[in-house]
Structure 1
Amino acid sequence: KLKHLAVLGKLPKLKSLKINGWRPVAGDPPFSDLEYIENTTMSGSCSGVRAFGSEDSFFPSLEKLELCNLPTLKGWWSGDNNSDQEDGRLLPAFPRLCHLTIRNCPDLVSMPLCPTVEDLEIWNCNVNLRIMKSIESGNSKLRTVSTDNMAHLRAALPIEAFQGLNSMLIRCDEKLEKLSEFEAVFRCCSSSLQQLQICWCPLLKSVTGGLEHLTALKMLKLNPLPSQSEAGEGVEDDGTPWRCLHSLRYLSIYLPNMVKLPNWMRYLTTLEHLEIDSGELESLPEWMPELTSL
């Protein structure tokens, strides 16, 4: 059974790499027992430069990497561990990687750093995985993120990485209760985030502490709408957090049991497109004509 892919280090012109440990046919998947990508070690006295040459020689052309459905994958190198990951001197970095997807790799705790990643997807991953080390403010290239666990996403990246973020998708996060738990993240991307989708997070009760910082937000999807927002709880007298969304153009909400629209919606005066999914809605409110851009 395959446990290493040592040949990959000999492909300097490789631009895209996808390793999927699942296939819809009988028998064991080809990578079901894959533990390490390369059968070498980065520990001990071997530095990244000595083991692989200059930084630019480590997968110099790789732009897209997908690691999917690899339940036994632990790291890029055998003998590697999370303590090596914490010491950035021992790990080389992908110099050109733009797109990174890690899905269903629960044991993966160590891999090369990805300082230039622009599009990041993390699904069902280990909380100890690190994607970047600290970066200087304003130098982040990250533009889109997708995750099923905000806590794991936050642990994988330095807070500066969220500066300049354009789009965020949070889906099926079973532990997220309040956006205020990650208020620092939303503050960081307050002037850049334009799209936010939060879908099927069963414990989410409040969006206060997050939305009011997103002054550049143009598209918002809440599926379903958190229970406190349905009742208008957590909304200040001045309409916070909703009044702060003065760039919002598109709103999509799922209201499974609501018979009337929440009153806070009247503050979204820049709305041009409103999508409501509800089988119980009885009528539109009197203030609806106030949304003159619809």
Structure 2
Amino acid sequence: MGALKYIDNNFYGDMESSFPSLEVLGIHEAPCLEEWTTVYSTEHFPVLSSLTIYSCPKLVKLPLLQSLKDLHIGGTNVTLLTPLIMNATVLTSLSISGFTELPDGLLQNQKQLGSLYVRSCSLKSSSDLLDNLSSLKYLEIRGCSIESLPVGLQNLSSLKTLHLNCCDSLVSLPVNGLQGLSSLSSLRIQNCKTLASLSEGVGYLTSLQDFLINGRPELTSLPRSIQYLSSLRYLSICNCRGLISLPDEIQHLTLLSELEIEHCYNLMSLPQGVRNLTALQKLTISGCPHLQRRCKKLRGEDWPNIAHIPSIEIFNKRW
């Protein structure tokens, strides 16, 4: 609706309660839309639970929508964010994208928020965005300009899943910032190209079961504290061209059942401690020429370390 500028009172008709059954509403690509006015004597959208607003850059006014549980917003004026989110106090899922700056205190009322997606935004390490989110279980930060994670991360005691993707300015993970994430079960770090090392604070993640590292060309090694990931069952290391070795401390991952190593061209060998991973059921190696040679059945130097694994898949693939 390229010409639409205003949504006025005529939109609501003559009913005392407008759109009494509407639960899901989306507004996409209305580049001239500026205001969506409301009549406060009429109850609007009493059961609206899901709202999506994308590519409405001039929109600065919306009705009061207190029943929202699921909100997706991106490509809009930043002045719309605060009143919309502050008044929606029962949100359980929120997706924010395309903002150069997020207002302070934006999520201070979101006590029930369980999932948060922040995409293509500019964040500061001093941001209070993650403060007071005691119910947050899922956090994804994708394509954001940020050098280090917000300090409130360490207080997300209910967090189960943390995904960091395409954050090219991210240079480090906080050592102490991971200490409070004792409930974290899934950590995925993908395509964060300047993140040259993983924090030793990874060792605090004692409930972690799923750990994926992908697209980290500057990474040369894994922290020795990986030995404390006593609950880890799945470990995937992909597209880490600078990785030279794995720490022998990997032998302490006694519950590890699947290990995947792909396109780590400079990884020279597997540590001898792999033979102690008695729970390991599947090993996949792909696009790692040195490992492929050393893990050849019966003949490779590393074969004695992996011979006990029931399923071994080795592929000679290059991208």
> Could you say whether these structures have the same fold, taking a TM-score greater than 0.5 normalized by the shorter chain as the test?
yes
2:200 to 168, 183, 199: 183
Percent of aligned pairs with the same residue?
Answer: 21
Task: Name 1:222's counterpart in structure 2.
Answer: 237
Question: Is 1:61 aligned with 2:90?
Answer: yes
The structure showing larger relative contact order (alpha-carbon pairs under 8 Å, at least 6 residues apart) is: 1
Task: Name 1:145's counterpart in structure 2.
Answer: 162
Question: Is 1:204 aligned with 2:245?
Answer: no
Task: Name 2:78's counterpart in structure 1.
Answer: 35
Query: 2:160 is matched by which residue type in structure 1?
Result: R
Task: Name 1:13's counterpart in structure 2.
Answer: 67
Residue 259 of structure 1, CA deviation: 9.9
Segments of structure 2 that go 5 or more residues without pairing to the other structure are: 1-31, 33-56, 312-319
Residue 174 of structure 1, CA deviation: 1.6
CA 1:199 to 1:159, structure 2 compared with 1: closer, same or farther past 3 Å? closer
CA 1:208 to 1:112, structure 2 compared with 1: closer, same or farther past 3 Å? closer
Residue 36 of structure 1, CA deviation: 2.9
For 1:219 and 1:107, how far apart are their aligned partners in 2?
30
Residue 188 of structure 1, CA deviation: 2.1
Task: Name 2:257's counterpart in structure 1.
Answer: 249
Please state whether the residue corresponding to 2:68 is helix, strand or coil: coil
Query: 1:207 is matched by which residue type in structure 2?
Result: L
For 2:129 and 2:268, how far apart are their aligned partners in 1?
50
Residue 276 of structure 1, CA deviation: 1.4
Matches within 5 A, 1:84-99: 92-99=108-115
For 1:183 and 1:259, how far apart are their aligned partners in 2?
21
Matches within 5 A, 1:22-171: 31=76, 34-38=77-81, 58-68=87-97, 70-72=98-100, 74-76=101-103, 81=104, 92-106=108-122, 111=129, 113=131, 114-127=133-146, 130=150, 132=152, 135=155, 140-148=157-165, 149=167, 154=173, 158-171=177-190
Question: If each structure's strand is expressed as a fraction of its own residues, which one has the higher value?
Answer: 2
Query: 1:103 is matched by which residue type in structure 2?
Result: R
Query: 2:231 is matched by which residue type in structure 1?
Result: A
For 2:222 and 2:267, how far apart are their aligned partners in 1?
21
Residue 251 of structure 1, CA deviation: 0.7
Residue 140 of structure 1, CA deviation: 1.1
Question: Cα RMSD over matched residues?
Answer: 3.5
For 2:149 and 2:304, how far apart are their aligned partners in 1?
48
For 1:263 and 1:126, how far apart are their aligned partners in 2?
36
Query: 2:216 is matched by which residue type in structure 1?
Result: C
Residue 217 of structure 1, CA deviation: 0.6
For 1:112 and 1:246, how far apart are their aligned partners in 2?
33
Residue 104 of structure 1 contacts residue 124 of structure 1 at CA under 8 Å; is this kept in 2?
yes
Please state whether the residue corresponding to 1:75 is helix, strand or coil: coil
For 1:289 and 1:100, how far apart are their aligned partners in 2?
40
Residue 218 of structure 2 contacts residue 240 of structure 2 at CA under 8 Å; is this kept in 1?
no
Structure with higher Rg: it is: 2
Please state whether the residue corresponding to 1:7 is helix, strand or coil: coil
Residue 67 of structure 1, CA deviation: 1.0
Equivalenced residues, count = 238
Residue 212 of structure 1, CA deviation: 1.7
1:277 to 259, 268, 286: 286
Segments of structure 1 that go 5 or more residues without pairing to the other structure are: 22-30, 41-51, 53-57
Query: 2:235 is matched by which residue type in structure 1?
Result: L
Give deviations 1:57-101, integer Å, cap 9, x for gaps.
x42321111112x143x224xxxx5xxx5xxxx973302111100
For 1:154 and 1:256, how far apart are their aligned partners in 2?
22
CA 1:220 to 1:99, structure 2 compared with 1: closer, same or farther past 3 Å? same
For 2:172 and 2:91, how far apart are their aligned partners in 1?
23
Please state whether the residue corresponding to 2:96 is helix, strand or coil: strand
For 1:112 and 1:255, how far apart are their aligned partners in 2?
34
Q: Report the TM-score, using the length of structure 2 for normalisation.
A: 0.62
